Structure 1
């Protein structure tokens, strides 16, 4: 009996020592991977990572805003799944008034019999992008060379939407040094005719994009002369034309003035191409003629002078004697010829 008792004692001591050695190898949980902040679109899947170590292996639970999170281990119909690693997986992000939203502040808690470890806080935010622009761009009208500014404020959203612009359906190339996009404003310096078109402001975040109403940029052109009137010298009774060819947007009006006054009525003819015609000119027609062109963005003028010489009429009473030297007669006729030229 004594020997049996000694054997039991020896077995108990060895077993106790072995159990104590195993228990000494256990350690409390520690978090080796903390969850990170997330911004997720409504209805999209998401994962909050958490990984813990410990011996024995710790159990992991999640808390949102201080309340324990229900997962598929509590309710098989839950859209939240607790993964073997300890991470929390959302089949879809729920956000709205009808159901308890998923956005909030999360922590994971790892436990074993030696204690517990709590992760850092991680926020889960639901991305949104409203439909209505806070400010839609409006039509703008400028002249060539002037700056143009189109303003836009995108819909409210989280994250804050970025802004880009499209012209005539194509993305605007903001690498052009004349183009600057800042705080929703599209600024174009030294505008050109090619800048005219239909512009749309686009607000974008991870939810998607929204397009503003269409705004039209109209680039007008001041009147410029393609062909200016030229000064002329003519003989009386001849016909004179002064040409004036212009361009501009909108199409400029064209009118003529003589010596800073309106043309006398009935004396002059203006053709469809704005050419001024003066028939059977006299010395009274001499003077300065000015082509005045004008549209809503500018006005220009170009002038030319008309000089009229009288025709040479020989005196009908002049007598030509037979004794007039031939050389003198030749020179006299030649001088008349040169004057007529």
Structure 2
């Protein structure tokens, strides 16, 4: 097969995670009763200078979790529009047979101002479970803030980027690792935002662009990739790409097919 040492190491870790408690083997926090857990904790306090930009990152493991953010308890809109169906992998016909995965979400806060100081909550959820964690965003004050000195006659909106309306394409939610039983569908997340709205495309493990739909794949309206019937030959890294006239972003997702033990027993 010609696997590299890094790929072999990844496969061994995944195989161990199936036979043991996968979160424990990967040295991750203990999941809740429904199998959700945070891969990393948000800091209690996040600091940033006024008019600078910051990215809050949240990683959740479990059974196909999705992630969204709250500001002071109110949901933050990410992307050009929200469909409630995006909060679960409803495009997988009958749910997944295994469906263990890691999901990452990034909240991009541009040109932070006084009104952005607040409590931000990362919410990881499935149709049956929900976990959350908070961070308090606090502005750090520069000398210019205390002196109240305008720059170039533009006052406190002196940052050129803060005056721009268009923003580059950015992927704000994506799958990083997905394990699913062979023969089952698998939905890989890739949600992007930007102005103008970005175009999303996918590249397979061979570096070939995936068409919008064929007998193996379908690129969904929200940017996700649906693998219709997972096979062993589809194992590997897939790349999601988002682009608009202001810039582009990309993320790699690893899919690992698992042997269907039930079917194997039936064939004995």
Common topology (TM > 0.5):
no
Q: What TM-score results when the alignment is normalised by the length of structure 2?
A: 0.39
Higher relative contact order (CA 8 A, sep 6+): 2
Larger radius of gyration: 1
